[in-house]
Amino acid sequence: MLDDRFSSGSGEWLGPNGPDNDVVISTRIRLARNIRGHKMPWRSNQCERQEVEAKLKSGIADSQIIPEGAYWSIDDLSETERRLLVERHLISPELAKGRGSRGVIFAPTENLSIMTNEEDHLRIQGIHRGLQLEETWRVTNQIDSVLESRLPFAVSSRWGYLTACPTNVGTGLRVSVMLHLPVLVHTDQIKKVHTAASRVGLVVRGLYGEGTKASGDFYQISNQVTLGRDEVQILRDVRTMVLKIIEWERGLRKLVMQQDRVTMEDRAWRALGTLQYARKMNSEETMQHLSSVRLGINLEILHDLGQERINDLFLYTQPAHLQVLRGAPSDPEERDISRARLIREWLA
């Protein structure tokens, strides 16, 4: 069963000990690739999608790049199991909601995954804890090189890698850093982050990327442009902006602690008390309170909680995780009761 793989903890990328982990949750790099001589997934019929998927599965299996990974056909999974993979950032919402032959293979550590027949034939993803742009790129690029030696990627001498979406043409590279920015939100300066990012060709997105909203003060910073810039330039642009945002968030944290420490203490302790005693809790409320507790840990207001436990709760209180792993009912109100019970148990 798919859910059996996820009963013992979160993926390594959600661990608490990554570089700059007080602000940066994870670094993710995706590469979009297509197979020469085949229509893009959005133009192909089921027979063509099956043919492409078979080629990709064979190439991935022969390469042994994820030797302990199992290939999962999305159509063989329930809607809840698909949402489970989305919540763990192993597949995109687009793959979960797509049509026809498509699937995913991922490493047991969950720091590597390869999606087939999403928007493009192939999406290669590497994800690591904290700010690790170079290491994440090295691992993802290595997988890409191995697969390119076995599969005929669609490449133009003029345009680079050809992709379904014009914004991915060129390198096909999407660099994304997930940040926890509670004080930028608290001081109403998050709009300035959006503006600063857009000026240098970057974009601020929600928890699950494009088309999703921020939740629990979590935001993703990623590049918008792939054509006309090489991988080194894109990585450098993202790093420069992320380091500025980290400095900005840390500076504001220090300032508010100097000017209004009681408010920050009240926010952290009030959130912890609610989580410890509430009998019903929806997803959005949970994310916000966990965000405040995580901030309290990093500001050394709360001393008896580990960041790892809080990071895990961000994941295991999501709807699909509750439904699949805790046997929580699909009824929203009953699920909210089950969520509150889980939080109380974990914080006891």
113 and 143 belong to one structural domain: yes
158 and 61 belong to one structural domain: yes
Residues 107-118: b if buried by 16+ CB within 10 A, e if exposed:
beebbbbbbbbb
14 and 84 belong to one structural domain: yes
- In percent, how much of the chain has pLDDT > 90? 76
248 and 282 belong to one structural domain: no
pLDDT at position 308 is 87
Contact 307, 297 (CB under 8 A): yes
Phi and psi angles of residue 149, each rounded to the nearest 5 degrees, phi first: -75, -15
Of 205, 238, 253, the position where a domain reaches its end is 253
138 and 244 belong to one structural domain: yes
244 and 129 belong to one structural domain: yes
The predicted-structure confidence for 85-120, as pLDDT tens digits, reads as follows 999 999 999 999 998 999 999 999 999 999 999 999
pLDDT at position 210 is 57
Average pLDDT estimate for 228-252 = 95
How far apart CA 322 and CA 342 sit, in angstroms, is 9
Q: E strands, the chain, where?
A: 24-33, 71-73, 103-106, 112-116, 122-129, 155-156, 160-161, 173-180, 202-205, 218-223
Of 221, 238, 253, the position where a domain reaches its end is 253
Higher pLDDT, 322 or 143: 143
Contact 147, 122 (CB under 8 A): yes
Contact 2, 81 (CB under 8 A): yes
146 and 221 belong to one structural domain: yes
Average pLDDT estimate for 40-60 = 93
Residue 4 has pLDDT above 80, yes or no: no
- In percent, how much of the chain has pLDDT > 70? 94
192 and 274 belong to one structural domain: no
**Which residues have a Cβ under 8 Å from the Cβ of 181 and sit 6 or more positions away?**
23, 190, 193, 217, 218, 219, 245, 249
The predicted-structure confidence for 211-238, as pLDDT tens digits, reads as follows 455 677 999 999 988 877 889 999 999 9
**Which residues have a Cβ under 8 Å from the Cβ of 147 and sit 6 or more positions away?**
33, 59, 60, 63, 65, 122, 124
How far apart CA 194 and CA 159 sit, in angstroms, is 29
pLDDT at position 23 is 97
Of 227, 253, 279, the position where a domain reaches its end is 253
pLDDT at position 147 is 96
Residues, the chain, total? 348
53 and 185 belong to one structural domain: yes
Residue 53 has pLDDT above 60, yes or no: yes
262 — pLDDT class (breaks 50, 70, 90): very high
Residue 53, SS3 per DSSP? helix
Domain tally for the chain? 2
Total-model pTM: 0.91
Q: Could you tell me the CATH number of the domain that includes residue 231?
A: 3.30.590.10
209 and 326 belong to one structural domain: no
How many of the other CB atoms lie within 10 Å of CB of 275? 23
Supply the range of the domain harboring residue 50. Answer: 3-253
289 and 169 belong to one structural domain: no
DSSP codes joined into one string, 281-318: --HHHHHHHHHHHHHHHHTTS--S--HHHHHHHHHHTS
pLDDT at position 208 is 60
194 and 96 belong to one structural domain: yes
pLDDT at position 214 is 66
